[in-house]
Structure 1
Amino acid sequence: MRRVTQPARMPDPMTGELRPPSAPRTESKGIRTTPPGFPTTEVVAPEEMGPPLEWCEESKHYPLQGAIFYLCLFAVSGTIIYRGFEWTSNWFLWVFITVICVAMYFHLKKDRVVAGSRWVQQRDEWISTYEITKIRSTTVGLNRASKIEDVHGNKLILVLRDAQMNPLLWNLVYNGIVHSVAHGNCDISKAARRILKI
């Protein structure tokens, strides 16, 4: 029988105390801390699940910087491919570039993770971390992710790099995952076990 990492005690839903121990991080060694105040992301988890305790957000300017980066990348690429600035007179290319940059702006604006003591949210999806029924390994772009379902039918694709950038956030999430697996109600794939180190 496979040995399961033992979870710490379930933290208080309002305060997060006692905080769980440090969780293994495989996708990010960054040390982000939760900024003071309240997350700028709309919290979709029900109030009875407890307040947000930790979150990982880029600065307000990050999505705009990302969109400008893509605009510059396309401009440089167009200039190299056309060997000059002739491409600037092509209206179709401008429409294409504008659509891509706007899409990237809104995409980057949503890549935020928020967690309470017993739930986690990425974008507008959330799950109850102590009531997980299924975990599968997947990818989002070049990043590893976990496809997670809970007992209430909630589904979430959690990008591990985003969640692990804030160690305190990841500790909360990981303890819930381990708790669900340890109590035998969670169907977890071998790949997910290996990547999550459970």
Structure 2
Amino acid sequence: MLEWYRSSRRNAVLTGAVAFVIMVLGLTLIRGGELAWMQFWFVWAILVLASLGVYASSRATECAVGAEWLKVGKTWVRLYELTSIKARVRSNAIHIDLKDGAGREVKVSTSALQEDRDIWDLVYNGILHSVVAGHATTNGMVHSALQVPRPAPAQ
């Protein structure tokens, strides 16, 4: 099985536009409602560049997944050979850092993976197998946010 996902251009443009509006409103509020700052061209240039950065970062996610592997950008890992799984909050989303037995590492937002249900199912099954059967090291957020069960203690 092979699944592929690339962030939509429409959502990236919308995200960049919303970021621009929020920055304009925030700057206006910081200046006490004064609009005098709008006459300076370099402020507009900074706002446009920041908005383009937001656009580029939300457009950048491209991932593919097979039955046993996940590829994000140019990096990939074997999902059933994960040795380390860490989850953390970055900006407004949960990101996971996956490392396999060969030392390959992928860092990706769970929201990007969950855009396509089939991709998320394959990745989650690999994470689940690596934790329960492979004894991958994890942090608490993997278990709480992703609802991955903790492995049974060794007897």
TM-score (norm 2): 0.77
Q: 2:18 aligns with which of 59, 66, 69?
A: 69
Higher relative contact order (CA 8 A, sep 6+): 1
**Which of 96, 106, 126 is equivalent to 1:156?**
106
TM-score (norm 1): 0.63
- Kept in 1, the 8 Å contact 2:3–2:65? The answer is yes
Instruction: Flag the structure with higher strand content.
Output: 2
The whole-number CA distance in structure 1 between the counterparts of 2:134 and 2:21 is 51
Q: Distance in 2 between matches of 1:194 and 1:54?
A: 27
Matched, 1:96 2:43: no
Deviates more, 1:162-171 or 1:59-68: 59-68
Distance 2:87 2:76 in 1: 17
User: Is 2:8 the counterpart of 1:54?
Assistant: no
Deviation at 1:132, TM superposition (A): 0.5
Give the distance between the partners of 2:9 and 2:140, measured in 1 at CA. Answer: 38
Contact 2:19-2:51 at 8 Å conserved across structures: yes
**Structure 2 contact 98–106 (Cα < 8 Å) conserved:** yes
* 1:113 partnered with 2:63: yes
Q: Take 1:74 and 1:180, find their aligned partners in 2: how far apart are those partners?
A: 42
Between the two proteins, the alignment pairs up a number of residues equal to: 147
- Contact kept, 8 Å, 2:8 with 2:59, in 1: the verdict is no
- Residue 61 of structure 1 aligns to which amino acid in structure 2? R
Structure 1 unaligned regions, length at least 5: 1-15, 17-52
Per the TM alignment, residue 79 of structure 1 is displaced from its structure 2 partner at its CA by 4.4
Kindly report the root-mean-square deviation, in angstroms, between the aligned alpha carbons of the 2 structures.
2.4
